[in-house]
Structure 1
């Protein structure tokens, strides 16, 4: 019996040692550098999986979905939930990446479009005040333009627009709100106008000052903080839509796009918008445009425009924050007391729409439509929108209607 006990004890001891050696070898294997890295990586994956599982929001289903008795239905339900979780996790992950990239991109755009704020007094305000005060004796009309594109794209078309403005408003003051033009090269581009006594200045926008004490201020602060989706449409284009409204609200005057040719004096126009399209059946406008806006300072309609921009901004729909915004608001406030403004027919600023603009650049047989259009422009039009998006690449053919308009608007023709 003693021998049996000793043998059992030695066998137990031998097995214990083998198990102990096995544990040591396993731990040494796990803690060896290649395997430990693998274990650490596996731990990260498990942690990430747990994080995504608990952070994805699954919408509440109706109570009937949870009254499941059939094992088959229960299995299908669980599989669909798991698929939903996986898809939600992936879309959540990738949408976050896209959002952060988009916000970063448009924050860079903000820096490139505007000037740095100066406190306690805005440098923008100081320059603007000095400009208007120095020319107050002869500054009969105030005009504003915006240029949010690179300087290299500022060409003859834009210069002709400025020429046409001063041809019919030689005593006007023009402010071009633009960071790219507020530069040494920009000064050289505008020098011929200044040298000939015309009052024009380019100045980089101070968005904080321009939007202050309006609904645009809150919206813009949220945009800078990354709490507004800027969308796929150019942020500069949408900021230009908002800038023109805020500038007119704060200072009053006339805003025109740099692809608008002025054909007559605006001196008798006040609180005016132009219709882009007109419904011949009803005799009413069907769409307005914001390429030309003429308003008094602090006009209530401008306040409504800015409010609408801030509350309904959508960076993915073309025109939603521009012409369509103007149309929406005007259709709501028309007839209300306190909103005094005039809507001019399309012939005033948009005698030819974007679909017909090409015909004015060609020297061709004058159709009845063209002959009637020329007569209408001469009699009724204060300006002509050239729809740059559709006409920028078109060449001005000698003898065309546009060639004739340019000759009439030119003030540096002999240079």
Structure 2
């Protein structure tokens, strides 16, 4: 009997020791909340750790000129807000900055269809262009005098703006998707600074956007989509720009992918237009701001993105997109979908027409 009691006591002690060690491990693991969050994201597969080292770079003489609204060559066009902005928020190393053909297609289409506007690609990486990208970029810069590629230094870019203290707080670095969220932040901040139109790099422009100002495209009856929107130097444009910056500053969430892009513009318009239904956001109700229906900028919804790559449904798809101002390729879903140059699929047909130099000089695969 005594032997059984001794064995039971040893088991209890062993169990208590194991529990103590586990508690100590857990305590050590979560003592630093910030570190715990980062580890939890990795362990649960919520994010892939991104290289964002270039976000903290100080201003130095780099291979790509710094973006400035006071540049002699572009000052007049810039301050008039006749600008279209794209962003590349990846950080690149020794391999150099890589721009894929589909990204270059977006830039070329904007330049081709808007010859009187300045088309900017703003880059955060300090690297030079990779050899292949450099050749393609030179080709576009040679043939389009309205394309400008500039670099942004984030620490400088946020200075003297309503987001300066927010940026210094470091809350941005808690983002699960820092590259995507940096693009969100920069598009609102840039249009707040200089005005113009922002476009995602998976957009193909099919018509002139020159006469558009103070607008956004609706994705559906519920959400506006920050993949395409413009803010000018008008009274309503400045008002919406300020509202977007304030919403972003107050409501930034690193754990919600869409909260800081489409979420911002949707919340702002719900307040501005006094309705939560995007379909009810008329220009008069929105104080002069225009919300275009999905058919204008997003003629194919994201759930049907494969139609852009479907030769069998080509005629129906081409008919559906024929009057749209842009098409949106929903890159999150379509980026791995292969197109051979010459394939008679809607995306290939559109690319051949609206970004011909890129499409016909990208090799065998677009």
Which structure features the higher share of helix residues? 1
TM-score by length of 2: 0.73
How large is the Cα RMSD of the aligned pairs? 3.7
Deviates more, 1:258-267 or 1:336-345: 336-345
In the alignment, does 2:146 pair up with 1:217? no
> Structure 2: how far apart are the matches of 1:348 and 1:203?
29
CA contact (8 A) 2:181 2:261 kept: yes
- Of the three residues 322, 345, 351, the one matched with 2:299 is 351
> Structure 1: how far apart are the matches of 2:195 and 2:26?
50
Change in CA separation of 1:125 and 1:395 when aligned onto 2, cut-off 3 Å: closer
> Structure 1: how far apart are the matches of 2:183 and 2:335?
19
- Of the three residues 239, 257, 265, the one matched with 1:300 is 239
- Of the three residues 36, 45, 53, the one matched with 1:98 is 36
CA contact (8 A) 2:106 2:355 kept: no
- Between 1 and 2, higher relative CO (CA 8 Å, sep ≥ 6) is seen in 2
1:390, distance to aligned residue in structure 2 (A): 0.7
In the alignment, does 2:348 pair up with 1:408? no
> Structure 2: how far apart are the matches of 1:128 and 1:177?
15
> Which structure would you say has the larger Rg?
1
Render the CA deviation track for 1:151-204: whole Å, top value 9, x for unaligned.
565211111111211221123212211133862546544211221242222222
Change in CA separation of 1:306 and 1:146 when aligned onto 2, cut-off 3 Å: same
Question: Is the partner of 1:160 in helix, strand or coil?
Answer: helix
1:396, distance to aligned residue in structure 2 (A): 2.4
In the alignment, does 2:321 pair up with 1:377? yes
The residue that corresponds to 1:60 in the other structure is none
For structure 2, the 5+ residue unaligned runs are 1-19, 41-47, 275-283, 362-366
1:289, distance to aligned residue in structure 2 (A): 0.6
Equivalent residues, number: 312
Change in CA separation of 1:145 and 1:115 when aligned onto 2, cut-off 3 Å: farther
1:260, distance to aligned residue in structure 2 (A): 0.3
The residue that corresponds to 1:29 in the other structure is none
> Structure 2: how far apart are the matches of 1:375 and 1:181?
43
Render the CA deviation track for 1:64-116: whole Å, top value 9, x for unaligned.
xxxxxxxxxxxxxxxxxx9xx979845642535436889xxx99955413652
- Of the three residues 120, 140, 161, the one matched with 1:175 is 120
For structure 1, the 5+ residue unaligned runs are 1-81, 279-285
Render the CA deviation track for 1:94-145: whole Å, top value 9, x for unaligned.
535436889xxx9995541365247xxxx84557623413x749x9931111
In the alignment, does 2:88 pair up with 1:147? yes
> Structure 2: how far apart are the matches of 1:362 and 1:100?
40
1:399, distance to aligned residue in structure 2 (A): 1.4
